[in-house]
A = this chain, B = another copy of it.
Amino acid sequence: MSGSSLGKLFVVSGFGESHGPAIGGMVDGCPPGLALCAADLQRDLDRRKPGQSRHTTQRRESDTVEILSGVFEGRTTGAPIGLLIRNEDQRSKDYSEIATRYRPGHADYCYDQKYGHRDYRGGGRSSARETAVRVAAGAIAKKYLAEHAGVRIRGHLSQLGPIRPRDFDWAAVESNPFFWPCRESVPELEEFMDALRKSGDSIGAALTVVAEGMPSGLGEPIYDRLDADIAHAMMGINAVKGVEIGDGFACVEQRGSEHRDEMTPEGFLSNHAGGVLGGISSGQDLVVRIALKPTSSIRIPGRSIDRDGNPVEVVTKGRHDPCVGIRATPIAEAVLAIVLMDHLLRHRAQNAATQAPIPPIAARAPGA
């Protein structure tokens, strides 16, 4: 069935399988006048692409994106922006095993249950390869948000298996292959990943994405709340099993007097809410955290069944990410950008004529 789109006014649609001829899609609803070229998209695609360190899959894809429409003389026209990324490294191999046996913990079985027929090459549609389309589309949203709304989106890995950063520095994030905000503990990560790779196993991770410079007033209560749409988009990223806004599950043990973010004329005094109250942005930084499960494509044998229901033992060979969380930072950034862009346009639709007369306060009080 349909359902391959994200957003309502800024609509990202994607198609493509891991080992088909290409992946691609379109961005419908980008305002006209945005300066845009393929290189603007390529930067984030390069951050996501595989094979950049020994800690990710060794599949080699240049992930070169082509803009097929919607841009003229270097600026968007308002028409849909067609995107195309050819698959290059579809290594020919024998898929007979994967075609008839279900990897435990993988979507194989569910696809067969749903469709009765699936493209099993490299995971087909269920492969995380598809996220490249969201990254390309998200780069358009990020550019618009930065240039026309003053919003900056960035993310970092916040936990990998048992390892947490020991300190925090945005500047560190892009200086290591893990998007890790703590230079000091990078060697620890490398060691952990090397051992993991040798063991043939995989590991989970957590990511944090932040939007700074947020306008207040984005989000449509009650159903299409900003946080609800963020949760939807984040949970739609492969392997994500949990989403938190602000303090998230830590709220459970908090008291109201502790959780509420007090306000002064100079700004908010804290940000437990993560930038959203009642489904509407408050102008504080938007803070989102997601949990990614360990991938099921591992070399350690597991019990499963085949298409005929017989018991089999499954070992996944081939090139796989031992921690899908590592490459997920640009994906989560992209997805957040798409949702914010959509809500920015939705907000404008309603309020152009009836601007809120109440001046907003600062995202943060001086010293808070």
**Binary flags per residue of A256-279, CB closer than 8 Å to B gives 1, else 0:** 111111111100010011101111
**Are the C-beta atoms of A291 and B251 separated by less than 8 Å?**
yes
Partner-contacting stretch, out of A51-59, A179-187, A296-304: A296-304
The reply to whether the CB of A171 lies closer than 8 angstroms to some CB of chain B is no
Given A277-B105, A349-B346: A2 in contact with B6 (beta carbons within 8 A): no
Residue of B nearest to A67 (CB): B21
Per the bound structure, the CA–CA distance linking A104 and B110 in Å amounts to 45
Given A11-B2, A32-B354, A201-B255: A348 in contact with B346 (beta carbons within 8 A): no
Given A29-B2, A114-B356, A204-B252: A265 in contact with B105 (beta carbons within 8 A): no
**Are the C-beta atoms of A22 and B260 separated by less than 8 Å?**
no
Give the chain B neighbours of A82 by CB distance below 8 A: 15-16, 22-25
**Are the C-beta atoms of B261 and A236 separated by less than 8 Å?**
no
**Are the C-beta atoms of B256 and A295 separated by less than 8 Å?**
yes
**Are the C-beta atoms of A223 and B242 separated by less than 8 Å?**
no
**Are the C-beta atoms of A33 and B116 separated by less than 8 Å?**
yes
Per the bound structure, the CA–CA distance linking A109 and B230 in Å amounts to 21
**Are the C-beta atoms of B104 and A263 separated by less than 8 Å?**
yes
Per the bound structure, the CA–CA distance linking A200 and B159 in Å amounts to 36
Shortest A240–chain B CB gap in Å is 8
A202-257: which have CB < 8 Å to B? 202-206, 216-225, 227-236, 238, 241-257
**Are the C-beta atoms of A294 and B117 separated by less than 8 Å?**
no
Give the chain B neighbours of A355 by CB distance below 8 A: 116
From B109, B203, B252, B305, A205 is in contact (CB under 8 Å) with B252
From B110, B130, B217, B262, A217 is in contact (CB under 8 Å) with B110
Given A221-B126, A222-B130: A114 in contact with B216 (beta carbons within 8 A): yes
**Are the C-beta atoms of B75 and A304 separated by less than 8 Å?**
no
Looking at A66, A223, A256, the one whose CB has the most chain B CB atoms below 10 A away is A256
**Are the C-beta atoms of B80 and A4 separated by less than 8 Å?**
yes
Given A13-B28, A243-B242: A204 in contact with B114 (beta carbons within 8 A): no
Give the chain B neighbours of A165 by CB distance below 8 A: none
The reply to whether the CB of A69 lies closer than 8 angstroms to some CB of chain B is yes
Looking at A113, A283, A298, the one whose CB has the most chain B CB atoms below 10 A away is A113
**Are the C-beta atoms of B264 and A24 separated by less than 8 Å?**
no
**Are the C-beta atoms of B231 and A15 separated by less than 8 Å?**
no
Shortest A277–chain B CB gap in Å is 5
**Are the C-beta atoms of A161 and B253 separated by less than 8 Å?**
yes
Per the bound structure, the CA–CA distance linking A219 and B2 in Å amounts to 10
Given A79-B119, A82-B24: A216 in contact with B110 (beta carbons within 8 A): yes
